[in-house]
Structure 1
Amino acid sequence: MIMKRTALLLLLAACFSMPVFAGDGPQPIKLISYNLRNSGARDGDNAWMKRRHATPQMIRQEAPDVFGVQEGLIDQLQYIDTECPQYARVGVGRDDGSEGGEIMAVYYLRDRFELVDSGTLWLSETPSEVSRGWDGACNRTMTWAELRDKASGKEFFYFNTHLDHRGKIAREESIKLIVNEIQRIAGPKGTAVLGGDFNTPVDSPIFKPLTKYMKSVRDKAPETDHKGTFNGFGSAPDTIVIDHLYYRGKLKCLTFSTLDGNYGAPFISDHYPIAMTFTL
């Protein structure tokens, strides 16, 4: 009898001391936003063909569940498609609504997510048409994807964009348009993440319409950094922060990080990727 009681006590002690596995709770989602620098730029030793291997290396090393790229031309995206076939892609070219010009592509893990809906809009006075807005130097777009986690059934929206590098009015008006479009697409209670290259420092007043509606991941994540995101292939000071992530809705933000590690090339791009992890 004493032996049975002892065995029972040992069994109970073992049960209470068992670790709680990550699978018992919400699984974190890792999302990366990355300006990969277009392959048409004359960058000498930093040209795309000399550093392209670093992009799939970064993806394999960081293992995002979702990622968005800015400045991607179709040859670059097809290379990523080949090297990282576990991801599906949405997004169209800014110059023709197909494959022409830079594509604000959204990639997501095929095995983890179901694509509910997606689309691309132009940052202009006519967002449903191929167009250039205000005083912008280029056509600019925002691609979005509504994703459902196959395991939990929970959904979120991811918006990926790139604001104009010259037009001040274009940047200001684009922010207003982005806020309106996220409200329209995701709805008043939708969970959403917005990321991209905003060509604008974090403390700029143009973000006021956005920060009234969404929160900065960099500021709110319990684990974070405030490193520079633009490196200019080593020619820029390490204090320029123009790539940002924002969120709203039923999302718990866990981490933010600037990915300035070694992925097999001196510089993966003239920007560093930025990453967040969160749960739904």
Structure 2
Amino acid sequence: MSTLRVMTFNIRGAYHDDGVNRWEQRAGLNVETILRHTPDLIGFQELQHGNLEVYQKRLTEYAYALGPRAFNEEPHEYNAIFWKPSRLTMLAQGGFWLSETPEEYSSSWNAGCVRVAHWESFHLLDANIKLLHINTHLDHASEQARVEGARLILQRLPLLCHEQEPVILTGDFNCEPASPPYSLFLEGGFVDTYQSADNKHSNTFHDFGRITPVTGDLVEKNTMRIDWILQRDRKNIFTPSSCTIIHDARLPLYPSDHYPLITDFIVRPRG
């Protein structure tokens, strides 16, 4: 029996004017949060070069791949995947744009900006199994773009892995559970690990403390639990043992305007 700890984390790009929570002020806390929780596999959203420069110096036990860029001009933005080579070997990687022309830099369906999906195929060394990790960020402005983006990810799955291969899907989905994209993923065989761990509803986006944790009560604007770790696992190899929203902060500093989410899996290979 093995374990795997997976994190999804929208880190808020390095080039925003966020006052006291600008990247230069919160970068140390951001890295401390990641290192304290020691994930084996991370799906980052909104990673920009300024974030990457810090991670290259501080997250030295991780390998990484950036995937397709979400902006064609500086500052480029990526749905990067980081992993521990001591636990995982990367076998293949790729990505596609969430649009009607997914092989080229593009957007569709009234999306507010260009969106991408980044995938990595891994060998989990101590369990001797293969898994697929997809990391994405659905559109914030257009429900049609979120729905069609979810459909495209599901349509691409047969091209990326065998039906019986475990799939872990991380991301900022910019919509709540029970939304149309969420329902599409569940209809496609995915399970919400936060629900599997019997958690109560809570928010993951907090806008640097303007939205209270745990209850999701409003302070300035509406939000939902929009960051998810989903899994599709036909052979029941990965069992979520816990799924936690991480509320690390050192007020008035936060690691990001989103709380990271961590799922711990128990891995039981089956013949």
Same fold? TM cut 0.5: yes
What is the identity percentage for the equivalent residue pairs of Structure 1 and Structure 2?
26
1:216 aligns with 2:216: no
Mapped to 1, the partners of 2:20 and 2:250 lie a distance apart of 16
Question: What are the within-5 Å matches in structure 2 for residues 13-162 of structure 1?
Answer: 26-92=1-67, 93-96=69-72, 101-162=76-137
Are 1:123 and 1:142, in contact at CA under 8 Å, matched by a contact in 2?
A: yes
Q: Which has the higher contact order (CA 8 A, sep 6+)?
A: 2
Aligned to 1:193: 168
Mapped to 1, the partners of 2:210 and 2:245 lie a distance apart of 18
| C-alpha deviation, 1:54, in angstroms | 1.2
What TM-score does the superposition give when structure 1 sets the normalisation length?
0.85
The structure with the greater share of residues assigned to helix is 1
Aligned to 1:165: 140
The amino acid that maps onto 1:215 is V
1:255 aligns with 2:230: no
| C-alpha deviation, 1:133, in angstroms | 2.1
- After superposition, the C-alpha distances for 1:132-169 in whole angstroms (9 at most, x for unaligned) are 12201111011111111222221111111111110121
Give the length in aligned residue pairs: 253
- After superposition, the C-alpha distances for 1:177-221 in whole angstroms (9 at most, x for unaligned) are 111122331221110010110110112133222111211111112
Mapped to 2, the partners of 1:36 and 1:232 lie a distance apart of 12
What TM-score does the superposition give when structure 2 sets the normalisation length?
0.88
| C-alpha deviation, 1:264, in angstroms | 7.9
| C-alpha deviation, 1:263, in angstroms | 6.1
Are 2:242 and 2:264, in contact at CA under 8 Å, matched by a contact in 1?
A: yes
| C-alpha deviation, 1:265, in angstroms | 6.3
SS at structure 2 position matched to 1:173: helix
Change (3 A) 1:264 1:277: farther
Are 1:225 and 1:258, in contact at CA under 8 Å, matched by a contact in 2?
A: no
| Unaligned runs of at least 5 residues, structure 2 | 217-223
CA RMSD of aligned residues (A): 1.8
SS at structure 1 position matched to 2:6: strand
SS at structure 2 position matched to 1:180: helix
1:266 aligns with 2:250: no
| Unaligned runs of at least 5 residues, structure 1 | 1-25
| C-alpha deviation, 1:268, in angstroms | 1.0
SS at structure 2 position matched to 1:233: coil
The amino acid that maps onto 1:271 is H
Larger radius of gyration: 1
Mapped to 2, the partners of 1:205 and 1:270 lie a distance apart of 24
| C-alpha deviation, 1:99, in angstroms | 8.3
| C-alpha deviation, 1:237, in angstroms | 4.5
Mapped to 1, the partners of 2:179 and 2:212 lie a distance apart of 18
